[in-house]
Amino acid sequence: VQIVLATHNAHKVEELRRILAPQLPGVEVLAYDGPEPVEDGISFTENALIKARAAAAHTGLPAIADDSGICVDILGGAPGIFSARWSGPAKDAGENLRLLLWQLSDVSEEHRDAHFTCVAALALPDGTERAVTGEWPGQLLFEPAGANGFGYDPIFLPEGYAISAAELSAHVKNQVSHRAIALEGLVPVLREVLGQ
Ligand code: ITT
């Protein structure tokens, strides 16, 4: 049995694989390198479904997509679905993080609440679709810390921890993150459709 991960972000592929592999023994999890659809949805769910649908149509396999981002309360939920390109089209993680820190430079600790969101979507070649949302609450730090993970992890202090998401081990992050929570909801659906 094969499924394909409909993302071109290598960090996501790594995390999705590590989370899924132990839960889906016997399922081969492939990375997708086909055409990228235009992500013109107005929500994480719409964009996740657009990506999953395109990969399922292109490969003829069940496809899982991840649309995710960081949502900052005081910015009304931004960067949100625009997280990957917050500082421009280049998807430069360092620049994105610096811009966000600069935008919050005058915001005190008690007003820096934020959460990561991940929508994990499943699309089958027969048109079946599902989407599950996971959220990881926390707050934004004033300076980056840590070298693990990717994206905004160095400036995110997860609720219940005294270290940034980039200081957590991959093992811990993959047990508690927005991505882990979304996949927890999707795995039973996957097992059912794959007959596992
Ligand atoms: P694909 O569309 O090919 O999957 P992408 O990176 O463009 O790759 P998104 O549009 O979903 O994907 O953007 C997600 C961005 O949100 C990502 O580039 C990071 O900047 C941020 N992000 C998502 N999950 C994250 C995590 O676990 N840790 C840190 N940053 C994260």
Atom 22, ligand 1: residue with shortest CA distance = 69
**Sequence ranges of the domains in the chain:** 2-194
What is residue 176's predicted lDDT score, i.e. its pLDDT?
98
CB-ligand 1 contact for 83 (6 Å cutoff): yes
Question: Could you identify the atom of ligand 1 that is nearest to the CA of residue 65?
Answer: 4
What is residue 195's predicted lDDT score, i.e. its pLDDT?
86
Catalytically annotated residue among 33, 40, 66, 67: 67
111 Cα to the center of ligand 1, angstroms: 24
Rg of the chain (C-alpha set): 17
What is residue 155's predicted lDDT score, i.e. its pLDDT?
98
Distance CA 19, CA 44 (A): 20
What is residue 196's predicted lDDT score, i.e. its pLDDT?
79
Query: Which residue ranges in the chain fall short of pLDDT 70?
Result: none
* Ligand 1 pocket mutation, candidates 68, 136, 155, criterion most atoms within 8 A of CB: 68
The token pair at 59 is: 């490969």
Residue 67 appears among annotated catalytic residues: yes
Fold of 2-194: Maf protein (3.90.950)
CB-ligand 1 contact for 12 (6 Å cutoff): yes
